[in-house]
A and B are shown apart, each in its own frame.
Chain A
Amino acid sequence: MSALDSLYQQIILEESKTRRGGDLRNDQLDGQHLPANVGQCHQLNPVCGDEITLRIETADSKVSGIHWAGDGCSISMASASILSDMVVGLDRGEVAALIESFREVMRSRGKLVADEEILGDAAALSGVSKFPARVKCAMLAWVAAEDALSQTL
């Protein structure tokens, strides 16, 4: 597989169009007056203009919902979609471990092979780590989720 094909695996191209969780409404973007179990974060990559606003809802200390609105490259949108499919039902510790594991692979410059047992579909984003300029794209939603979750009680 060429480096380009390892970056743009079929699942990534599909997820970038599916955009699971990408249903945050325009009137929700300001993130004002959220209840204590809801956190929201806006992330922008000023280099390329990739942008996401991501909201996480919790119930009984687990993630009960995730919604986002964003505009960006296929990597950033696919990554948000895959993340959205993975976190519902996880508790804080599990989400933190997932994000840390993903971050470690992304920062490895292609040296680490993602463990599909842990990262599931997100393992398909492993190829991104060989392209340092794109790591931020892949991390965008995950950084937003980390921050949004930290705002919830």
Chain B
Amino acid sequence: MTDTAERYREFRLPDVGEGLQDAEIIRWLVAPGDTVTDGQPVCEVETAKAAVELPVPFAGRVRELLFPEGATVDVGAVIIRVDTGEEREVPVAGSGRTPVLVGYGAAPAPATRRSRRRPTAPPRPTAPAAKPPVRKLAKDLGVDLTAIVPTGPRGDVTREDVHAAARTSEPVPAQEPHTPPSPDETRIPVTGVRKATARAMVASAFTAPHVTEFVIVDVTRTMKLIRRLKEHPDMTGVRVGPLLLAARAFLLAVRRNPEINASWDEERQEIVRKHRVNLGIAAATPRGLLVPTIADADRRTLPELAAALDDLVVTAKEGRTPPAALRGGTVTLTNIGVFGIDTGTPILNPGESAILALGTIAPRPWVHRGKVVPRQVTTLALSFDHRLVDGELGSRVLADTAAVLHDPDLLFTRA
């Protein structure tokens, strides 16, 4: 027992469900000063398996609750201290049982034993015992395990020990990097958009099974059309470029194959068909990667779409994109061609089922009307969520997009 004051006894969070690591304190049923009896429920905790009430194993007056409601507590951590009102013999260190893990979290801490030095014995580790996640935490926080006084039930280093050590080693603001500065590296705290991006990408990559398909397409006629449109009075004041035409072609493909404009609701096991097509445009901004959206993009005329794109890009570049413009996207277009890149495998924006990547457009030797001639060629890549989009549907969307960029006359026949 770590208890040194005779009158006070501590109740440690037990493993109430065969192999659980932690539990969340939902509700305290007692407050400091309350009298409790042996076996009286003192709090409600929720584990990965169940919500249960924990009965305190001794009688007395509650002295202290060590965690607030809502806290996630590691198994083995002291959660409540009770004044039993009676002087107890302080157990000799190591002889006391700490009923935590199945009664015998109980066994004397291994710290009281050590290997007899024998030539055949393998070298003992000098760092105290710690579970792998705790070791990782220590590494992440730059805490030296050997410098920690372990308080775990088996003499091991706990999560709290590591956090405590991390706190004492950094008296300065929490923004400071945890590791001592090294001239070979700079550590940047992950916050804001970076953090949100990381979370969104992990969530998307590890929940939606991605499939990416590619098509190489001759867009010479689209490039000619762009040159003509730039001169057109209707397009005065707006930018006309490959992104605009690619967006238009993609939107037509989505309209022809509306099933792709949908998302997967895991919780309710439903496919959610979206009736509006809101086009997200991945944009590199000073704040990081943002995906502002153009609502009802499919219903806009070409000049309207061009104006919306301009507005979106300018706003994003200035870092003024309002939060509302970052929500509600249904499909996304990313223009990696601006970086001179041929193609890639884009990761879906969470909650969407398709993302199109437009590659760089460059003159390439191409078989055109039976002869190898230089043509303007690009690569399109479409990633889709294979839970709800099969290869056939994904292929149709990509092929339709490519067809329009190859033959922009289709802009009129399919509009």
Q: Do A and B come from one complex?
A: no
Interface residues of A (CB under 8 A from B): none
